[in-house]
Structure 1
Amino acid sequence: MKAKRIVLVLLALILLPIAVFFALQFYHYSKNESPYRTLLIPRLEIVVIEIDDLSSDEINMHEKLLIHNPLPFNFTADSLQYKLFIGDVEVIKSTYTKSLIIRKWNSTWIDLPVTINNDKLLATLNKADKQGKDSVMYRIQTTFHTHIPFKKKFDIDAEKLLPLFYIPTAQLKEVYHDSLSLKGVTLFLKVMIGNRNKFPFKVKDLKYKFSLADNEWVTGAELGEIDIKQQDSTELLLPLRISFSDIFKSIGPLIRKGGKVEYKFSMDLNLVSESNSIKNSKVTINDTGTLKELIKLAKDEKKKEKEKK
């Protein structure tokens, strides 16, 4: 009889913490108003995708994940493996190697850096555009590796629908001069900003630079906001002040190469948008060519203007 009591006491001591554990879990579960609440398994509550930099080669972005831990103890994830799909195309597969502490009965933000090759992205966007879609599904698959005895690995997936966004393009159409003085000359760069998107947007704090015949960059800036038209080109006239000392450096190549002299043009701007995913994103646009090509473009533009008249 005494042995039976001892067994019952031991069972009670073993089962009581388990009962308390499930009671606490159910209490927190019932208090949580989220439709995606879970009783024992961590879940992904929010996915925020923010684009930092866009260029002709790649896009750098951050995926911010809000992970909720319903367990009554913290746990550490040694690493996190993740895949990003845009549409049905896998655009990145990577591992976050830093240890992550997921707080008990709380939510923890995880910031994942993502770099996407533009060729893959453009192919996906073009496919969605041909299908008549104005948005595309971003889907992330994550795997957490932990030391929890009963669960060594968590798989958490999420998806978010975002609007299609094509990177703007820039083309230098013409260069002409004004304000000639003994010290230098003011050049005006006629630049066309192309926007394939089905919506207009604004850009702000535009910074640009121009180089001729491998000389040092000459820089300029246009502060404030500029409206960019949807599915069209927007003309910008950008001034640059060049000293004669800079011009003299180009005389040698100009004489030797003539119209084959190369130029480089680069522009950095920030997007203004109500969408958090692209708001304040930095865009870098580049254009290169030769003086001969530039002169031809200018002549073609003037010819088109005459035909319109």
Structure 2
Amino acid sequence: MDGQIAVLAVAEKGSFEAASKYLGIGRSAVRKRVQSVEAEIGTSVFRVMGKRMVPTEAGSLYLPSAQESVRQAWIGMDRVQAFVRVLTNDLRVGYSTYLNTKLLDIVRRIRPESMGSLTVTRESLMTYQAVAGVLQGDLHVGFGILPVLEPDLSTRLLFEEPLMACLPVGHRLATRSTIRPEDLERENLVSLSRKGLPGRHQDIVTHFESLGVSLKFATDAYSVKEALWLVTQGTGISLMTRFSASAYRYDVVVRPISDRLLTVKSGIFTRRDHSQKLISDFVDLAWAETASLRANPN
């Protein structure tokens, strides 16, 4: 795998020198590793173009396979490390700080009876950080906002909350008891965590488009607090749950959206290749413990 990593580093950085600094090894070591790959496949994988080294035709064919091979090797290592952590009595759980407090309360206390003396280490994160942690094997289980756009993860919906419209005080729609989807057609909107939660953002956009409504986003907000502040400044309307809208003391008007299919989904996710009974028991318990939330989401 060292040879494949060296080839990938040279392809990305454009020279042996730059690749050596990136990998933290000597220039000659990088060259030897690339040469070992070339000897194995029987042809050169790089050629000089100006001041850069670029892949040959054979190199261009080899690079995707090398990337996938290295990825699979790291996945295998991560899987083993996560398995060992369970064997050493440490189940690691990551959860989003933006989950509803009712769900957070369950996440913080659930513990399968089958765990015995095993400890549960819980870490408060953003959803994308929990996703990365589970993928990399640093976490066994993650809780966060769905959907999660990772084919290597298995997800399970635990809780749905109606989406609300947060409007500036004095906005023309603020006097209405309910906001219809078509009311938002030409309104400026503040996107919430478009980069951090691309799946959720796209779900909202796609749903409105299915109703014939095109949303216009004026700006992006990284956090709920920032989104609410932007609403108070008249930048636009933000779509979030009532729980999120009430998390900070901002002077905004919160109105339900008439389409009850517009929801924010929270769930649990694990690696598809994790087959340990302990992890599956934890997921099943999370499902059972959140049954009352699904029965009464408000």
Interval containing the TM-score (normalised by the shorter chain): under 0.3
More helix by share: 2
More strand by share: 1
Larger RCO, structure (CA 8 Å, separation 6 or more): 2
Task: Decide which structure has the larger Cα Rg and report it.
Answer: 1
TM-score normalised by the chain length of structure 1? 0.24
